C-alpha cells in the first residue's frame, strides 16, 4: 500500500477496517501521517524545521490505543516499536536505558529494508539456487580430460560426454522446475559463521553499542565454515534461497536506507506513560525515579542523536505516540517539558456493549472470524447467530462492569471459555464435515457461571 497516496480520510477508512469507534484518535493519527508526506514535499529549507506533532492518547486499557498505533505503522509501511515506559530506569540504575527504544527502531527498519531487498533479488537468487541443486544432482563435466581431436569438418566426430551430461542436466532442470524431485535427498554446503559470541573480560564499562560493534567486527574476522548437510531438494531450496539472497544484497546500502527510513518514517509507541508520572509528593522515593525516567526520555522525544550498531540516527522527525490510562495520575503530573512535547491530546472513549457487538462482527480480524478460520482448518463449519453475539457482548460488558475494566480484551477471555470445549472435541468427537451453530441458549448455558459467581477471579484472568 502506497501511504503517500492516502488522504487523511482514506487513512481513517483503513483504520476503520480493524478498529471500532475512537474517531477522534483516528483523525489525529491520520493527520500526523499525512503531515509527514506534506513535510517531505516542502520545497524550501524550512522542511527540516517542521517537526511532527506527537500524540498523547488517554484511555483505559483495551480501548484500542496500541492497535491504532500499530495499524498506522502498517499503513505507512513504517518501522514501529512499542515500549512500556515503566520498564525504563534512570541512567546509572540497572535496567533498559531509554536509547534502547531508538536502537530497536533502527533494527526493525533494517529488517524491513533487508526483507524488501531480498524480495527484489528473489528471482535472481532462485536461478542461482537452481544451478546449485542441479550441480548436487548431476555435477557438470568440464572438458579438461585428454581426448582424441578431430578436424572441425570431420563427420566422424562423436557426441561428447559433455553434450550428454548437458542433455541430462537439462532434463533434470525441467524436473526441478516441475517439482518432480522435491523429496530427493542431496548434499549441500551451508555456510556458518566462524564463531559464536565472544565474551570479553572487563567489558562491563563498555556501552551497549560499542560492545555490539566489537562483536560484529570479531565475527566478521572469523572465517566462515562450510558444513555439509543432507537435505531434500525442497529444504535445500529454502536454505540456499535465503543464503543467496543475502549474498546478492548490499548491506551498506540496506543500513543507509534503513537509517533514513527510521529517521523520517519511524513510529515509537510509549505505553504506560502514566506509570512514570509523579504525584508531586514531598521527599524522595519512587517519584524521584519516575521523574528521572521522564528527564531521560525528554531529549529523545525533543530530538537528539543516538548511536546504534548500524550508524547514527537523529530522532527529530520520529513520531512519538504516548498512551496511558491516567486513572491515578493526570497528564499534568508529567514534567512540563515532556508535556510540551506531546501537543496533541486525544481521549479515547470507554467501550459500550454496542461497541463490543461491532468488535465481534465488523473488523477484518474480528474474533468470531478468527475462530471460524480455526474450525475451518479442521474441516468444521461454525456459525454465530446475531443473538449469540449479542449475548457474548453482554457477558463481557457485565464482567468488565463488575471487575477490572480491561476493555475489548475481555471478549477474548469470554469467547475462549465459550468455545474451548468444542475446540477440545475437534476432531475426535466433532469430525470434519460437521456444522456447529452457536446460539444464544448455548452462550447463556456456557457462560452463566461467569456472571453468577461473584468471585470471578477463579474464572477470569
pLDDT tens track for 143-184: 544 444 444 444 444 457 777 777 888 888 888 888 788 888
CA distances for 202 relative to 205, 206, 207, 211, angstroms: 7, 9, 12, 11
Give the class (CATH, top level) of 3-113+259-347.
Answer: alpha beta
Interacting residues of 148 by C-beta distance below 8 A, sequence separation 6+ = none
Half-sphere CA count of 116, side-chain side, radius 13 A: 14
Half-sphere exposure of 395 (CA within 13 A, CB side): 31
Distance between CA atoms of residues 305 and 271, nearest Å: 22
Q: Which residues, listed in sequence order, are joined to residue 187 by a DSSP beta bridge? A: 230
Q: Which three cell numbers stand for residue 90?
A: 534512570
Same fold, 3-113+259-347 and 353-458: no
Rounded CA separation 290/294 (Å): 6
Domain ranges of the chain: 3-113+259-347, 122-140+157-248, 353-458
What residues are paired with 57 via a beta bridge? 323, 346
Burial (CB count within 10 angstroms: exposed 0-12, middle 13-18, buried 19+), residue 144: exposed
pLDDT at res. 203: 46
Measured CA angle at 393 (ends 273, 366), to 5 deg = 70
Q: What pLDDT, on the 0 to 100 scale, is given for residue 257?
A: 94
Q: What is the rounded distance in angstroms from the CA atom of residue 217 to the CA atom of residue 194?
A: 12
Distances (CA, A) of 410 to 130, 138, 361, 375: 50, 59, 15, 21
| Joined grid coordinates for residue 204 | 562491563
The Cα 200–Cα 198 span in angstroms is 7
Cell numbers of 24, please?
Answer: 477522534
**Residue 230 burial (C-beta neighbours within 10 Å; 0-12, 13-18, 19+):** exposed
In CATH, what number does 353-458 get?
1.10.8.60
- pTM of the predicted protein model: 0.79
Residue 200: phi and psi, rounded to 5, are: -125, 125
pLDDT for the residue numbered 91: 55
Peptide bond into 427 cis (omega under 30): yes
Query: Is the CB of residue 226 less than 8 Å from the CB of residue 191?
Result: yes
Q: How many CB atoms lie within 10 A of CB 448?
A: 11
Burial letters 194-208, b for 16+ CB under 10 A, else e: eeeeeeeeeeeeeee
In the prediction, which pLDDT does 430 show? 86
At 156 the pLDDT is 43
Is 397 exposed, middle or buried, given 0-12, 13-18 or 19+ CB atoms closer than 10 A?
A: buried
- Can you tell me the distance from the alpha carbon of 236 to that of 253, in angstroms, rounded to the nearest whole number? 28
- 283/376 Cα distance (integer angstroms): 60
Label the pairing between strands 80-84 and 185-192. unpaired
- Residue ranges of the chain with per-residue pLDDT less than 70: 1-4, 89-96, 140-159, 192-225, 279-288, 450-461
pLDDT tens digits for range 118-144:
999 988 988 888 888 888 887 766 554
Amino acid at each position: 500500500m502506497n501511504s503517500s497516496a492516502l488522504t487523511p480520510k482514506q487513512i481513517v477508512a483503513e483504520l476503520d477496517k480493524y478498529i471500532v469507534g475512537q474517531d477522534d484518535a483516528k483523525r489525529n493519527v491520520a493527520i500526523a501521517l499525512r503531515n509527514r508526506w506534506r513535510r517531505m514535499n516542502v520545497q524550501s529549507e524550512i522542511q527540516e524545521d517542521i517537526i511532527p506533532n506527537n500524540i498523547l492518547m488517554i484511555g483505559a486499557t483495551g480501548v484500542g490505543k496500541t492497535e491504532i498505533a500499530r495499524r498506522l505503522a502498517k499503513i505507512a509501511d513504517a518501522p514501529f516499536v512499542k515500549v512500556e515506559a515503566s520498564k525504563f530506569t534512570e541512567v546509572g540504575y540497572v535496567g533498559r536505558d531509554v536509547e534502547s527504544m531508538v536502537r530497536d527502531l533502527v533494527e526493525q527498519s533494517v529488517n524491513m529494508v533487508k526483507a524488501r531487498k531480498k524480495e527484489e533479488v528473489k528471482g535472481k537468487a532462485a536461478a542461482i539456487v537452481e544451478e546449485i541443486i542441479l550441480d548436487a544432482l548431476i555435477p557438470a563435466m568440464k572438458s579438461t580430460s585428454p581426448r582424441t581431436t578431430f578436424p572441425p569438418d570431420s563427420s566422424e566426430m562423436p557426441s561428447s560426454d559433455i553434450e550428454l551430461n548437458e542433455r541430462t542436466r537439462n532434463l533434470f532442470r525441467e524436473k526441478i522446475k516441475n517439482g518432480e524431485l522435491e523429496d530427493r535427498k542431496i548434499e549441500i554446503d551451508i555456510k556458518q559463521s566462524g564463531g559464536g559470541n565472544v565474551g570479553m573480560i572487563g567489558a562491563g564499562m563498555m556501552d551497549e553499542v560499542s560492545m555490539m560493534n566489537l562483536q560484529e567486527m570479531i565475527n566478521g574476522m572469523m572465517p566462515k565454515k562450510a558444513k555439509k548437510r543432507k537435505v531434500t531438494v525442497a529444504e535445500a531450496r529454502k536454505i540456499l534461497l535465503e543464503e543467496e539472497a543475502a549474498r546478492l544484497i548490499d548491506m551498506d546500502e540496506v543500513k543507509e536506507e534503513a537509517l533514513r527510513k527510521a529517521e523520517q518514517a519511524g513510529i515509537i509507541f510509549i505505553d504506560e506513560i502514566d506509570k512514570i508520572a509523579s504525584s508531586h509528593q514531598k521527599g524522595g522515593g519512587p517519584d524521584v525515579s519516575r521523574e528521572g525516567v521522564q528527564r531521560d526520555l525528554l531529549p529523545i522525544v525533543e530530538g537528539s542523536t543516538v548511536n546504534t550498531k548500524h550508524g547514527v540516527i537523529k530522532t527529530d522527525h520520529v513520531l512519538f505516540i504516548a498512551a496511558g490510562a491516567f486513572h491515578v495520575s493526570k497528564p499534568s503530573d508529567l514534567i512540563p517539558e515532556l508535556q510540551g512535547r506531546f501537543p496533541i491530546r486525544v481521549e479515547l472513549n470507554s467501550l459500550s456493549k454496542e461497541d463490543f457487538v461491532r468488535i465481534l462482527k465488523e473488523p477484518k480480524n474480528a474474533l468470531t472470524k478468527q475462530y471460524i478460520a480455526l474450525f475451518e482448518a479442521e474441516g468444521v463449519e461454525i456459525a454465530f447467530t446475531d443473538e449469540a453475539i449479542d449475548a457474548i457482548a453482554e457477558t463481557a460488558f457485565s464482567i468488565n462492569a463488575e471487575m477490572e475494566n480491561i476493555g475489548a480484551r475481555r471478549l477474548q477471555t469470554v469467547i475462549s471459555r465459550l468455545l474451548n470445549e468444542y475446540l477440545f472435541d475437534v476432531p475426535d468427537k466433532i469430525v470434519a464435515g460437521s456444522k456447529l451453530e452457536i446460539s444464544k441458549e448455548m452462550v447463556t448455558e456456557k457462560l452463566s457461571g461467569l456472571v453468577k459467581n461473584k468471585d470471578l477471579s477463579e474464572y477470569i484472568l
